[in-house]
Amino acid sequence: MNNIDAVTLASQLCSRLCHDLLSPVGALSNGLELLAEEEDPEMRQRCLELLETSARTSANKLKFFRLAYGAAGGFADRVDVSEPKAVIEALAADSRKVEINWALATDSLPKPAVKVMLNFAQIGLEALVRGGTLDVGAERRDGASEIVVRAAGPKIAFDENIGRTLQGELPADGLSGRTAPAHMLALLAENAEGDLQYHLSDEALVLGAVLPGG
């Protein structure tokens, strides 16, 4: 795997975080400005609804970043699967176009496996630009965590640079905020002596991982 220094990876992950938070936080700012100027009761109610939606979206994204990118302080080495499940359901609810199906055959997962599940789910959600279904499965087998995410819908939008980065290759133009999470997962898999795979077709994107240990 080509080497990327820790500072570059961290800066690109921060760029991704800022990019994803810019819209809901900007909506909060705009909503507050409108609320301060608006006197019509009906319009003030709409401003409050905008603020509520933007605040919820921002909180959901921060919960995702904490588990998907960060150290997830406050959790033990293993995380109850209800935690990433709740985060993924919240992200899917924000899109309002995706149905999630769960196949979780374990009560808890090691933190690296949780990061993989969350990032796979986000990649899958982003691929479903016209909505569809997101199938998320996880189990423990022979001392390893196995994760699979399948995104299926009428149109699949997936940058195969992300797929190649998952498998240890780096894009010719270097790491970006878009590919940094995939590179982080590739490093996690390499450290665990595990494996990440993806398969793209016209009907679906399938992401899989086997992570020994934990």
- Structural domain including 93 reads 6-212
Q: What is the mean pLDDT of residues 40-45?
A: 86
Rounded distance between C-alpha atoms, residue 1 and residue 23, angstroms: 34
Residue 104 lies in a domain: yes
pLDDT of the residue at 74: 62
- pLDDT, one tens digit per residue, over 110-148 is 999 999 999 999 999 999 999 999 999 999 999 999 999
Distance separating alpha carbons of residues 125 and 116, to the nearest angstrom:
14
Residue 12 inside a domain? The answer is: yes
Residue for token pair 């240990």: 213
Is residue 1 included in any domain, yes or no? no
Residue with tokens 């992401």: 207
For residues 154 and 162, give the distance between their C-alpha atoms in angstroms, rounded to a whole number: 21
Whichever domain contains 54, its CATH number is: 3.30.565.10
SS3 sequence of the chain: CCCCCHHHHHHHHHHHHHHHHHHHHHHHHHHHHHHHHCCCHHHHHHHHHHHHHHHHHHHHHHHHHHHHCCCCCCCCCEEECHHHHHHHHHHHHHHCCEEEEEEECCCEEEHHHHHHHHHHHHHHHHHECCCEEEEEEEEEECCEEEEEEEEECCCECCCHHHHHHHCCCCCCCCCCCCCHHHHHHHHHHHHCCCEEEEEECCCEEEEEEEEECC
Residues 6+ apart with CB under 8 A from 103: 135, 136, 137, 138
Contact 199, 87 (CB under 8 A): no
pLDDT (average), residues 182-205: 94
**198 vs 57 pLDDT, higher one:** 198
As a whole-number percent, the residues of the chain with pLDDT over 70 amount to: 96
Residue 73 in this model has a pLDDT that exceeds 70: no
Q: What angle do CA 125, 202, 165 make, to 5 degrees?
A: 60
The structure tokens 């982080």 sit at 184
In a domain, 96, yes or no: yes
Phi and psi angles of residue 213, each rounded to the nearest 5 degrees, phi first: 95, 175
Query: Which tokens is 120 given?
Result: 């796979």
Instruction: Count how many domains the chain has.
Output: 1
Does residue 147 belong to any structural domain of this protein?
A: yes
Q: Cα(136)–Cα(189) distance, rounded to whole angstroms?
A: 19
Residue 80 within a domain:
yes
What's the pLDDT score for residue 53? 87
Q: Does residue 156 lie in a domain region?
A: yes
Residue 162 in domain: yes
